[in-house]
Amino acid sequence: SPEYKWFYEYPLPRTPVKSKKQYVYRIVGVGYMSQIDYYEVEIKSFTQQIYPDLPATPMVGFDGMSPGPTFVMQQNREAVVRFINNGPSNISVHVHGQYNRAPFDGWAGDMTSPGQYKDYYYPNAQNARTIWYHDHTEFTTGEHAYWGEEGYYILTDPEEQALGLPSGPYDVTLVIAAKVYNSDGSLQYDNNHESGLWGDVILVNEQPWPYMNVEPRPYRFRLLNGAVSRTFDLTLNTDAGEMLHFDVIGSDCGLFNSPVNSTFIALSMGERYELVVDFSNFQNQNITLLNGRGVGDNVDYPATNKVMRFVVGGSSSGGSGGVPQTLRNHEEVAPPASNAKDFTFGRGRGGVWEINGVGFRDVENRILTKPERGTYETWQLRNGAGGGTHPVHIHLVDFKVLSRTGGRNEVADYESAGWKDVVWLAAGESVQVIARYAPWDGIYMFHCHNLVHEDHEQVVFLLVPNLEK
Ligand code: C2O
């Protein structure tokens, strides 16, 4: 059994920002020209020293790194990204959290084979938000994300930039994952195992249990659970065991109207939360990010309670970057009377995972629902037979979490404060979400973001017909 002897010994890697290649121009109307940013990304194999005492790990990633380069996009500045597949297997790239036209959404069957490329068009028309991109190939999404095919896609807008939130070196992406390594340094993954891959090694930005030197000042952290199957219940702790309070400022679909103070964050796969943590009062101390959640009834590995450590220095180079009490001023529109629908996430015959008894291979029935474009619908998501945790992701839309019954029995304040595109449906729970099915018509996936469940068919489709008057 492995010995873990290097907690908080290696620095947190910071992910580079992707630079654009050139501009392409498109004529939109007579006498009108719009400028579109153009990027090229190459998917390829690489090796990286991950596990300190083992040989380097063979991986596959965007631009040959993991996490892939971070896109930083400006609102209302469209982009085209050419994803060139020089990797070993098919890919389908999904930007998770952006409303894309269906042909550019990276659905599971839209494969780009090795040696091919595909140009994706991204409108970047939504408000500032922390979104991410990952491979979405049918039956192998979990494996591909695990080899390294995931990264951040940050959308920013002028309203957000005016807030004076911590920026530059004080704005930090933290993608948390959990993996298993063989003694030759390679990653272990069994695609036939259908309940999940929990991982004994916790990684942040692909480094096991790293540390980060921070100044005694506020930082903005963009958390993403990029694990295949592991959920986290995160707290920040002093060496004396005191839990820090921090401000949660946003979630999957952008900033809240006001910050929500918390001491913990529950983070299931695909979810994002943005925190501002103020280290000002913790000069020359360690603040450790710990995970309080195990893996249900299964026996957990010994060190999965540890995540990473912030080592706070004695002085700050200045600058405040605190948190304003008003972050956004978006009125809550009371949604009109809506259609109510029910979806049960359960285990079907042969161990596959299904939604309302339908799985991805059931091509005849897998378009499970047809919301009219522009209408609100309330969906009851139920965790049914077979248990397990199902982070439910609906493509295309932002939704609000209305209620949770069974299991934890409540919606956390930071879950209801903003709009989301993934909601954690834990064992025994039933969660109600409301969304407006817009702006595009087309066929979009909705699925469980436990990527092992997704690859074992817990994916169906919604068809948004163009019926808007
Ligand atoms: Cu994060 Cu359908 O994906």
* 200 & 132 share domain: no
pLDDT in the model for residue 319: 66
**Which ligand 1 atom is at minimum distance from the Cα of 395?**
2
By the 8 A CB rule, do 145 and 134 touch?
yes
Q: Which residue has the higher pLDDT, 161 or 299?
A: 161
* 289 & 352 share domain: no
Which residue, judged by its Cα, is nearest atom 1 of ligand 1? 96
By the 8 A CB rule, do 292 and 264 touch?
yes
**Which ligand 1 atom is at minimum distance from the Cα of 106?**
2
Q: For the chain, how many structural domains are there in total?
A: 3
Q: Is the CB of 80 under 6 A from ligand 1?
A: no
List, in sequence order, every beta strand (DSSP E) within 86-216.
Answer: 93-96, 117-122, 129-135, 150-156, 171-179, 201-204, 207-208, 211-214
Read out DSSP for 14-29?
PPPBPPP-EEEEEEEE
- The alpha carbons of the chain give a radius of gyration, in whole angstroms, of 21
275: CA distance to ligand 1 center in Å? Answer: 22
Look up the domain containing 362 and give its range. 339-464
pLDDT in the model for residue 338: 76
What are 414-460's pLDDT values in tens digits?
A: 999 999 999 999 999 999 999 999 999 999 999 999 999 999 999 99
* 133 & 51 share domain: yes
Q: Is the CB of 453 under 6 A from ligand 1?
A: no
pLDDT in the model for residue 469: 46
Q: Is the CB of 395 under 6 A from ligand 1?
A: yes
Pick from 15, 74, 66, 16: nearest CA to 43: 66
Q: Is the pLDDT assigned to residue 264 strictly greater than 90? A: yes
| 2 part of a folded domain | no
- Residue ending a domain, among 158, 184, 203, is 158
pTM of the model: 0.96
* 146 & 204 share domain: no
Q: Is the CB of 142 under 6 A from ligand 1?
A: no
* 372 & 450 share domain: yes
pLDDT in the model for residue 421: 98
d(CA 120, CA 126): 17
DSSP bridge pairs for 44: 61
Q: Is the pLDDT assigned to residue 298 strictly greater than 80? A: no
Quickly count helices (H) and strands (E) in the chain: 4, 31
DSSP alpha helix (H) spans, 111-256? 141-147, 158-161
| 103 part of a folded domain | yes
d(CA 160, CA 334): 24
Q: Is the CB of 272 under 6 A from ligand 1?
A: no
Q: 380: Cβ–Cβ under 8 A, 6 or more apart, which residues?
A: 340, 341, 342, 343, 430, 431, 432
Q: 7: Cβ–Cβ under 8 A, 6 or more apart, which residues?
A: 209, 303, 306, 309
What are 208-263's pLDDT values in tens digits?
A: 999 999 999 999 999 999 999 999 999 999 999 999 999 999 999 999 999 999 99
Q: Is the CB of 134 under 6 A from ligand 1?
A: yes
447: CA distance to ligand 1 center in Å? Answer: 8
Q: Give kind and range of the element (H or E) at residue 88.
A: none
Q: Is the pLDDT assigned to residue 341 strictly greater than 90? A: yes
* Strand pairing report for 68-74 and 286-291: unpaired
Q: Is the pLDDT assigned to residue 291 strictly greater than 70? A: yes
- Residue ending a domain, among 136, 158, 180, is 158
By the 8 A CB rule, do 367 and 461 touch?
yes
* 92 & 53 share domain: yes
* 65 & 174 share domain: no
| 317 part of a folded domain | no
pLDDT tier at 336, thresholds 50, 70, 90: confident
Which residue, judged by its Cα, is nearest atom 3 of ligand 1? 96
**Which ligand 1 atom is at minimum distance from the Cα of 422?**
1
pLDDT in the model for residue 190: 84
* 172 & 295 share domain: yes
pLDDT in the model for residue 449: 97
Q: Is the CB of 144 under 6 A from ligand 1?
A: no
3-state secondary structure at position 212: strand
| 49 part of a folded domain | yes
pLDDT in the model for residue 107: 95
Q: Is the CB of 445 under 6 A from ligand 1?
A: yes
* 176 & 121 share domain: no
- Residue ending a domain, among 119, 135, 158, is 158
| 163 part of a folded domain | no
* 214 & 267 share domain: yes
| 13 part of a folded domain | no
What are 154-184's pLDDT values in tens digits?
A: 999 999 999 999 999 999 999 999 999 999 9
Q: How many residues does the chain have?
A: 469
pLDDT in the model for residue 335: 75
d(CA 396, CA 131): 13
**Alpha-carbon distances, residue 282 vs 242, 260, 372 (angstroms):** 11, 21, 52
445: CA distance to ligand 1 center in Å? Answer: 8
Q: Is the CB of 94 under 6 A from ligand 1?
A: yes
User: Number of C-alpha atoms within 13 angstroms, CB side, residue 40?
Assistant: 10
Backbone angles phi, psi at 103, to 5 degrees: -65, -15
* 146 & 180 share domain: no
| 143 part of a folded domain | yes
pLDDT tier at 300, thresholds 50, 70, 90: confident
* 261 & 307 share domain: yes
Q: Is the CB of 393 under 6 A from ligand 1?
A: yes
| 237 part of a folded domain | yes
Q: Is the CB of 270 under 6 A from ligand 1?
A: yes
321: CA distance to ligand 1 center in Å? Answer: 32
Q: Is the CB of 136 under 6 A from ligand 1?
A: yes
What are 10-43's pLDDT values in tens digits?
A: 999 999 999 988 766 665 666 666 778 899 999 9
Q: What is the CATH number of the domain that holds 106?
A: 2.60.40.420
d(CA 278, CA 131): 24
Residue 168 burial (10 A CB sphere; 0-12, 13-18, 19+): exposed
